[in-house]
Amino acid sequence: MFIVAHWLCANTAIVSGKNEVSSVVYKVGECMQELIKLWKEYEVSQGEKNESSLTGPTLEIRIPAEHVTATNRQVRGGQLWGTDIYTDDSDLVAVLMHTGYCRPTASPPPPAIQELRATVRVLPPQDCYISTLRNNVRSRAWGAAIGCSYRVERCCIVKKAGGTIDLEPCLTHTSTVEPTLAPVIVERTMTTRAAASNALRQQRFVREVTIQYNLCNEPWIKYSISIVADKGLKKTLYTSARLKKGEVLYLETHSRRYELCFTGEKMVKATQLSQMHEGETEKSQNHVSHSTNGEKNDSDHIMIDVFRWSRCKTPLPQKVTRSVGIPLPLEYVEVLEENLDWEDVQWSQTGVWIAGKEYTLARVHFLSTN
């Protein structure tokens, strides 16, 4: 989960001859108001000095281990703006993954880890914050000064049994397969930032859709969780519903291609189904279908949708795939999991979990017979 090594030494802020290091506890979804408070106090103490030359005090943030995962909603939502220097409302866990102190996986940290402690340096607001893809995490761009900024100066693991492990950043790694084509037209897009209320700022955003070439040298969309996420309340736009209507989802790692398709229905006991879906929302219930007359086949059983996960033996061009048949015949695939309930398919920021096994994805593509 973590990259263990030595961190580079950094100076703490010295004010009136004393080391001034504050400490706060990270909370999911909450901005670090302490950053802004520290910056304002520091500005007052520096008087008329040029703001751009100022380097503010440091702040230690303690992050409970359970939050250091790609399933953290702030990480999933891409709540970070900038590269190396980030806006004050950028999520710290997302920043640590972007800077390579820890990897963006859905797996929680080992039980022996109690927390991470990160020391950040408060910095002046920047005129702009640039977007980069680093360590399989993409930061976002922002084209205006805002509050203050920060950068991570060091980070360590605190073990439950006592003691610490220093971590080292990885600031140069990107995906092993780089995007080969990306739109360059600047256009107005939606953004979750409340401050983006005027159109001029919104026009500074570039749509973050990236096209890559697949294993057959055809353009596919780079994998992101938004491609496979259920769209709003329209059940017809759920990924599972699209598969049921005849579309097939093809997914690639950097070396292999996989196929996810709907294969029919299976009968399960109603008591077993209630246990499987206990506490699930109405969305999950969408995957349950009755026989054609709308009745259960008997009082104890019910029909549910099932799916198949396969590895394509050879990646085929799209034209050949269509001519062979979608989904691919069994002689073209190695079936890895069949009779999957939809709840056995779990999407993450970096890939998909199928029946408990993780596949890190690079590209995805829906195909249909139409």
Residue corresponding to tokens 């001519």: 323
What distances in angstroms separate CA 43 from CA 38, 54, 61, 90, one per listed residue?
9, 8, 21, 21
| R_g of the chain computed on alpha carbons | 24
Chain position carrying tokens 């086949």: 297
Tell me if 206 sits within 8 A of 141, measured CB to CB.
Answer: yes
Instruction: State whether residue 340 is helix, strand or coil.
Output: strand
pLDDT tens-digit readout, 82-112: 999 999 999 999 999 999 998 888 777 888 8
Amino acid (one-letter) located at 302 = I
pLDDT digits (tens, 9 = 90+) for 215-235: 998 889 889 888 887 766 778
Model confidence at 119: pLDDT above 90: yes
Most confident of 5-14, 169-178, 237-246, 330-339: 330-339
- Reading the block at residue 335, the tokens are 């079936």
Q: What is the pLDDT of residues 158-180, one digit of tens each?
A: 998 888 888 888 877 554 443 33
Contact 31, 84 (CB under 8 A): no
User: How many Å apart are CA 369 and CA 245, to the nearest integer?
Assistant: 10
Question: pLDDT of 18-49, one tens digit each?
Answer: 445 578 899 887 777 888 889 888 988 887 66
Single-letter amino acid, residue 355: A
Q: Quick one: 131 exposed, middle or buried, by C-beta within 10 A (0-12, 13-18, 19+)? A: middle
Q: For residues 118 and 59, what is the distance between their CA atoms, to the nearest angstrom?
A: 8
Segment 144-154 mean pLDDT: 90
Full set of structural domains in the chain with CATH: 14-167 (2.170.130.20), 179-207 (no CATH), 213-367 (no CATH)
State how far the Cα of 275 lies from the Cα of 266, in Å rounded to an integer.
16
d(CA 304, CA 306): 7
Collapse the DSSP code of 91 into the 3-class scheme (helix H, G, I; strand E, B; otherwise coil) and give the result.
coil
Burial class (CB in 10 A: 0-12, 13-18, 19+), 274: exposed
197: CB partners within 8 A, 6+ apart: none
Q: Does 258 have pLDDT greater than 80?
A: yes
pTM beyond cutoff 0.75: no
> d(Cα 195, Cα 31) in Å, to the nearest integer?
14
pLDDT, tens digit, 9 for 90 and up, residues 263-309 = 998 887 766 555 554 444 443 444 444 333 333 445 577 888 899 99
Element (H, E) at 39: helix 33-46
- In this structure, the chain runs to a length of 370
